[in-house]
Amino acid sequence: MDQRSLDDPRLKVKNFLTRLPLFANLADHSIEKLARSGKFIRVGKGDFIFFQDDPSQTVFVVRTGLVSIILESQDGRRLVINEMHGGDFFGEVGILTGQSRSSTAIARSDCELVVFPGSAFLELLNGEPHLVQQLLVIASNRLRESSEREGALAFLDARGRLARLLLQLSHRELEKGYITISQEELAERTGQTRQTVAKALGQWRRGGWLITGRGRIMLLNYKALSQVEQDTFVPADNS
C-alpha cells in the first residue's frame, strides 16, 4: 500500500469504522459506501456540535474526546442526559424520526468526530437490516441509563444527587485518583445551579470530605458522601 492510500481520508474513516463493534460485521461494499460519505472533523472544548431544535441532518461517531448530550429549558437551565466517548455514535434519533434535534451536543474536551449525512445512515440501515437490532439494544441501554438518572432527580434532593454523581465519577476514574470536572458540569449533570453545587462542595471541603482545585476533585470520605445519598432519599408520594 502506497503513502497516498494511507493518507486517503476515506480509507482512514473506513479503518476507524471497522474497529467499532457496531460496524465491524458490515459487508465490505456497505462500509466502503458509508466511509465515502463520512469525514473527520475536529471540535474544540466547549464548542457546540448542534443545538436543540436544529434540523436533524447528520450522524456523528466519536473518535476521541468526550461529548455531552444536554436538554435545555426555556429559562436557560441545562441537564446532561448522556455522555458520548470514543466509539459512541449520536445524532441518529432525529434522522430515524424525521424530527428536529431533541437535545444539544457540546464538546467537553477537544474532540475528533466522524460525521455522516443522515441519508447515508438511513441507506446503510436499509442495506444492513441486522444493524436495526443492534441499534435497538443500544437504545434500550441508553433508556435504562436515562431512567436511572430520572430516578435520581425524582427521589434524591440536590445534595444527594451531587454526592451520588461524585461517587459514580470517582469509581470510573479510580486509576487517576481524582475527578476532572467543573462546577458548571456538575450542576448540569445534577439539574441544579452552579451556586448550589459550589455551596455543597465548600461545606464538604471544610468537613474534610474532599479536596477541590482547578477543575479537579479528590474524594477523601466516601462513607460520608454515601450517607448523604442515602439520607436525602425522598419517598414517592402514593397518596
**What single DSSP character describes residue 45?**
T
Is CATH 3.20.20.70 correct for 157-231?
no
C-alpha separations of 148 from 142, 152, 186 in Å: 10, 6, 17
Coil, helix or strand at residue 43: strand
CB 31 within 8 A of CB 23: yes
Mean pLDDT value of segment 58-67: 96
Q: Would residue 87 be called left, alpha or beta, if left means φ above 0 and alpha means ψ between -120 and 50 degrees?
A: left
Check if 3-153 and 157-231 are the same fold: no
pLDDT at 81: 86
Residues contacting residue 43 through CB under 8 Å, at least 6 positions apart:
49, 65, 107, 110, 111, 112, 113
pLDDT at 216: 93
In angstroms, rounded to a whole number, what is the distance separating the alpha carbons of residues 18 and 218?
Answer: 38
Q: Does residue 23 carry a pLDDT above 90? A: no
Mean pLDDT value of segment 69-89: 86
Mean pLDDT value of segment 128-152: 81
The CATH class given to the 3-153 domain equals: mainly beta
CB 189 within 8 A of CB 228: no
pLDDT at 146: 75
Structural domain spans, the chain: 3-153, 157-231
In angstroms, rounded to a whole number, what is the distance separating the alpha carbons of residues 17 and 24?
Answer: 7
Coil, helix or strand at residue 3: helix
Mean pLDDT value of segment 156-170: 91
**Cell numbers 429549558 correspond to what residue?**
73
| Least-confidence region, from 68-77, 162-171, 204-213 | 68-77
Provide the whole-model pTM. 0.76
Q: How confident is the model at residue 79 (pLDDT cuts 50, 70, 90)?
A: confident
Q: Residue 53: how many CB atoms within 10 A of its CB?
A: 13
CB 167 within 8 A of CB 224: no
Mean pLDDT value of segment 79-88: 90
In angstroms, rounded to a whole number, what is the distance separating the alpha carbons of residues 177 and 90?
Answer: 30
